[in-house]
Amino acid sequence: GAGVSQSPSNKVTEKGKDVELRCDPISGHTALYWYRQRLGQGLEFLIYFQGNSAPDKSGLPSDRFSAERTGESVSTLTIQRTQQEDSAVYLCASSLSLAAANTGELFFGEGSRLTVL
Amino acid sequence: GNSVTQMEGPVTLSEEAFLTINCTYTATGYPSLFWYVQYPGEGLQLLLKATKADDKGSNKGFEATYRKETTSFHLEKGSVQVSDSAVYFCAESFYNQGGKLIFGQGTELSVKP
């Protein structure tokens, strides 16, 4: 597709279960970001990948959160042993390059809404 | 620390009304400033930006001026349309921070015919 694709669009899970969220960036985009938006709050940075460099994981809230990216394509955000406070919309964004990202040229997916019961 | 604060929504206006959405920032350096918009059923997209003090970003009739003295980047439009109904996010970023954005909480705008 032409844009950033995320799946699932909605996920309801029970506390303690693991979840995986997927992001397909725009083809050719080397930079990929994950953000989280909890109800009534702004987007919080979680992690970003740039080419083959080590990812910047500085925004991950706990060791229950992890993410992987295969080359310059698909990324998966995994949340282990989910808690109710993990309920949020998880947004993925990609950018052609780090330089483009620095100018704000990020393309966002529609997000994955996670509800932890 | 660095942060962005927006006026709370929702904001409801009649078509052709004047729009202002306030945004203020705190920064330890010299950020670039952005407004993103999220239309219903779509992902966020960049609306406009400004990279240094006194710069004015503009797009689709929207404007925002980077005011260092008041640490503000208020979004304005002279005459809103129903199609402007969306959620608007103010954000800042710093060079050499990997393109990471610091967002405000978003302001929902609803324009009635």
Chain B closest-CA separation from residue A42 CA (Å): 3
Looking at the partner chain, which of A48, A103, A110 has a beta carbon nearest the beta carbon of B100?
A: A48
Per-residue pLDDT of chain A (117 residues; tens, 9 = 90+): 579 999 999 999 999 999 999 999 999 999 999 999 998 788 999 999 998 888 999 999 999 999 999 888 899 999 999 999 999 999 999 999 888 888 888 999 999 999 999
> Which among A54, A113, A117 is positioned nearest to A85, based on CA atoms?
A117
- Could you tell me which chain A residue has the CA closest to the CA of B9? A40
How many degrees, rounded to 5, is the angle at CA A36 between CA B110 and CA A84? Answer: 105
- Could you tell me which chain B residue has the CA closest to the CA of A102? B99
What span, in angstroms and rounded, lies between the C-alpha atoms of B61 and B77?
Answer: 6
Chain B residues with CB under 8 Å of A43 CB are: 89, 91, 101, 103
Helix (H) or strand (E) holding A12: strand A10-13
Q: Two tokens at A5?
A: 């694709």
Express each pLDDT in B12-70 by its tens digit: 999 999 999 999 999 988 899 999 999 998 889 999 999 999 999 999 999 999 999 99
> How many CA atoms lie less than 13 Å away from A19 in the CB half-sphere?
26
- Could you tell me which chain A residue has the CA closest to the CA of B43? A110
